[in-house]
C-alpha cells in the first residue's frame, strides 16, 4: 500500500514536470525544425547544409548523390557560389578523376576561390604551372580513372618512366627525355593537392600520395660556370667586337650587367634608367619581372634587396646603348625594344645563345644563369661567402651547394690565406724546435 502511494506521487510529479517543461521546449523544437528545413531547402535546385567545421556544402538536383564543399559559412553566399560554378561542379557526377581535376587550377575555379578565402593568393604563373601538369601529364594517364581505384603503386610506377610531355606511360627512348626529379616532385605535389580535395569532398578516404618517397632534386643537366677563355670570347675588349658577338648594343650591355652583378634575368629585365647610378657604378636591385609575365613587377625572388656594382666597361656600354635607344627617359625600361615592356625572358635566352654561338662556342645548354654561377664562383677569389651571398640574394648553404664551381686557380686564390696561415704556423713550430 505504501508502494502504491509512492508511485502515485511520482507520476504526479512527472506530469507536473512535463507541464512546466513542454511549453518551454516546444518553441525551441519548432525553431530547430524550421532552421533545419531552411538549411536543406532548395534554391533553384540547389540545397545547402552545414558541415561540422561550419562550412556550407551544396548539392544539385541533377546530381543529388554528391554534397560538395564550398568556401563559405554563409548559406546565401554558398548558394551564389554554387550557381556560378554549377556547370563545372555538376560535371563531377560522372565520378572520373578528370571530372574533378580538369579545371582545378584555373584562376576562377572553386578550389582557387576557396584558397583565396583562406588567405592563399597564388600567382598566375603558379596556377598555370599546376594546370600544365594536370593537362600534360595527369589527365592523359588518370583522366578516365575512378579516383577510388588509383593506387599508390600505380602512381609511383607511372612516375618512374614518365617522359617530358609524354603520352600515357611512355618510357624514355626514341628521342624522348625523362623528366627531371624536381619536375616529378612538382607533379606529385599537384596530385596530392587534387587527392586532398577529393578527401575533403568525401570521394576518397585516404590520399594515395601519402608515403610515396620524393625524387632527388638534383638536376639532370646542372648549370655550371663559364670558363675564363669563353668569357673572353663572349666579352671581347672593344665595343665593335662586342656588338658583333651580341648583335646590338642593348644585348651587349645587358649581358655585361648579368656578368657584373650575378643578377637573375627577371631582375635585370625590370631595370629602368632611373635605377642605375652611373656616377657610382651602382644598381640597387629591389625588384624583378614575375615569371611567366611580360611586365608584372614584383620583389626579387627571395625578397632580398641587393647591391650591384658595375665595371667601368659596363657603364660605358650602358651609356652607348642609352644614346642609341629611343626609350631613354628615366622611367623607361633599360632593356626594351618597344618601350611598353622589357624584353621577354624567352627573347633574352635566345639572344644569349645566339651570342654564345656567334662567339664560336658550342654550348647549347648554357643560359644567362651561367653568368650568375660564374659570378658566384669567380668572386670567391676576392670576397667571402657571406659577402657573395649578400650580392646574390641567396644563402651561404645554397651558394656552396649550387653556385660554387671553382677551377684550380679560383680554388687556390680563394684559399691562399689559409696557406699563409699554415705556413706561418709551420715556421713558428720550426723555430720552437730549434
Instruction: Give the model confidence (pLDDT) of 248-257 as tens digits.
Output: 999 999 999 9
Q: How many domains does the chain have?
A: 3
Quick check: 349 pLDDT over 70? yes
Same domain, 177 and 300: no
- Whether the pLDDT of residue 32 is over 80: the answer is no
User: Does residue 68 register a pLDDT over 60?
Assistant: yes
H-only helix segments in 325-358? 345-358
Contact indicator for 366, 374 with CB cutoff of 8 Å = no
Q: In terms of domains, do 314 and 241 share one?
A: yes
Residue 405 C-alpha from the chain's centroid: 26
The average pLDDT across 304-318 equals: 96
pLDDT on residue 170:
47
Higher pLDDT, 98 or 221: 98
Q: Whole-angstrom Cα distance, residue 344 to residue 290?
A: 11
Mean pLDDT of the chain: 85
Residues 399 and 321 in one domain: yes
Over 90: is that where the pLDDT of 353 sits? yes
Report if residue 431 sits inside a domain.
no
Q: Do 20 and 148 reside in the same domain of the chain? A: no
- What percentage of the chain has pLDDT greater than the value 90? 50
- Over residues 221-236, the mean pLDDT reads 92
- pLDDT tens-digit map of 407-424: 888 888 889 999 999 998
Cell numbers standing for residue 164: 617530358
Q: Is 140 part of a structural domain of the chain?
A: yes
Same domain for 268 and 191: no
One domain for residues 185 and 235: no
Please check the confidence at residue 101 and state whether its pLDDT lies above 60: yes
- Model confidence over 336-346: pLDDT tens digits? 999 999 999 99
Residue with the larger pLDDT of the pair 121 and 38: 121
Q: Please indicate, yes or no, if residue 211 is contained in any of the structural domains.
A: no
Q: 275 and 234, same structural domain?
A: yes
In this prediction, residue 168 has a pLDDT band, given cuts at 50, 70 and 90, of: very low
Instruction: Flag the least confident range among 46-60, 123-137, 162-176, 353-367.
Output: 162-176
Examine the domain organization and report whether 178 and 237 are in the same domain: no
Q: Is residue 268 situated within a structural domain?
A: yes
Query: Are 367 and 331 within one domain?
Result: yes
pLDDT value at residue 288: 94
**pLDDT(1) > 60:** no
Q: Tell me the C-alpha distance between 88 and 70, whole Å.
A: 13
423 φ, ψ (degrees, to nearest 5): -60, -40
- pLDDT of 65 strictly over 50: yes
Whether residues 138 and 267 share a domain: the answer is: no
What is the distance of C-alpha 236 from the center of its chain? 37
CATH number at residue 371: 1.10.443.10
Same domain, 233 and 196: no
Residue 306 C-alpha cell reads as 641587393
Question: What beta strand segments (E) does 213-371 contain?
Answer: 282-285, 287-289, 297-299, 306-309
Question: Which domain does 23 fall in, by range?
Answer: 2-40
Mean pLDDT, residues 228-233 taken together: 96
**Region 353-365: what's the mean pLDDT?**
94
At 361-403, the pLDDT tens digits run 999 899 999 999 999 999 999 999 999 999 999 888 888 888 8
Once rounded to an integer, what is the mean pLDDT over residues 89-95? 63
Dihedral through CA 238, CA 244, CA 246, CA 251, nearest 10? 70
pLDDT in the model for residue 123: 85
pTM value?
0.64
Q: What is the pLDDT of residue 19?
A: 59
pLDDT for 167 equals 44
Q: What is the pLDDT of residue 301?
A: 86
Is residue 62 assigned to a domain?
Answer: no
Mean pLDDT of 260-267: 95
Q: How far is CA 258 from CA 252, 265, 429, in A?
A: 10, 8, 47
Amino acid at each position: 500500500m505504501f508502494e502504491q502511494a509512492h508511485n502515485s506521487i511520482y507520476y504526479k510529479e512527472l506530469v507536473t514536470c512535463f507541464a512546466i517543461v513542454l511549453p518551454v521546449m516546444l518553441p525551441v523544437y519548432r525553431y530547430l525544425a524550421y532552421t533545419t528545413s531552411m538549411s536543406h531547402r532548395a534554391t533553384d535546385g540547389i540545397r545547402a547544409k552545414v558541415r561540422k567545421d561550419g562550412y556550407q556544402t551544396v548539392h544539385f538536383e541533377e546530381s543529388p548523390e554528391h554534397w560538395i564543399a564550398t568556401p563559405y559559412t554563409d548559406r546565401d553566399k554558398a548558394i551564389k557560389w554554387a550557381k556560378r560554378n554549377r556547370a563545372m561542379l555538376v560535371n563531377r557526377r560522372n565520378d572520373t578523376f578528370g571530372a574533378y581535376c580538369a579545371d582545378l587550377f584555373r584562376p576562377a575555379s572553386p578550389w582557387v576561390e576557396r584558397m583565396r578565402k583562406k588567405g592563399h593568393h597564388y600567382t598566375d604563373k603558379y596556377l598555370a604551372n599546376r594546370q600544365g601538369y594536370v593537362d600534360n601529364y595527369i589527365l592523359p594517364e588518370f583522366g578516365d580513372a575512378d579516383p577510388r581505384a588509383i593506387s599508390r603503386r600505380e602512381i609511383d610506377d607511372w612516375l618512374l618512366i614518365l617522359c617530358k610531355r609524354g603520352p600515357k606511360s611512355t618510357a624514355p627512348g626514341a628521342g624522348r627525355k625523362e623528366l627531371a626529379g624536381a619536375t616529378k616532385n612538382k607533379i606529385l605535389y599537384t596530385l596530392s593537392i587534387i587527392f586532398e580535395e577529393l578527401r575533403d569532398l568525401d570521394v576518397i578516404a585516404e590520399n594515395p600520395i601519402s608515403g610515396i618517397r620524393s625524387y632527388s632534386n638534383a638536376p639532370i643537366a646542372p648549370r655550371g660556370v663559364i670558363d675564363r677563355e669563353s668569357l673572353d670570347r663572349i666579352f671581347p675588349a672593344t665595343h665593335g667586337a662586342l656588338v658583333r658577338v651580341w648583335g646590338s648594343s642593348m644585348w651587349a650591355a645587358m649581358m655585361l650587367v648579368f656578368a657584373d652583378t650575378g643578377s637573375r634575368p627577371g631582375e635585370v629585365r625590370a631595370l629602368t634608367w632611373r635605377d642605375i647610378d652611373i656616377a657610382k657604378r651602382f644598381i640597387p636591385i629591389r625588384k624583378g619581372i614575375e615569371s611567366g609575365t611580360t611586365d608584372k613587377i614584383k620583389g626579387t625572388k627571395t625578397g632580398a634587396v641587393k647591391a650591384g656594382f658595375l665595371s667601368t666597361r659596363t657603364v660605358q656600354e650602358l651609356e652607348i646603348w642609352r644614346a642609341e635607344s629611343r626609350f631613354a627617359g628615366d622611367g623607361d625600361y633599360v632593356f626594351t625594344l618597344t618601350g611598353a615592356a622589357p624584353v621577354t625572358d624567352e627573347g633574352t635566352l635566345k639572344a644569349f645563345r645566339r651570342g654564345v654561338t656567334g662567339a664560336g662556342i658550342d654550348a647549347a645548354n648554357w643560359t644567362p644563369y651561367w653568368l650568375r654561377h660564374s659570378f658566384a664562383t669567380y668572386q670567391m677569389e676576392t670576397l667571402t661567402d657571406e659577402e657573395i651571398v649578400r650580392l646574390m640574394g641567396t644563402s651561404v648553404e645554397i651558394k656552396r651547394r649550387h653556385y660554387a664551381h671553382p677551377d684550380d686557380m679560383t680554388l687556390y686564390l680563394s684559399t691562399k690565406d689559409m696557406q699563409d696561415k699554415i705556413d706561418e704556423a709551420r715556421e713558428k713550430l720550426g723555430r720552437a724546435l730549434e
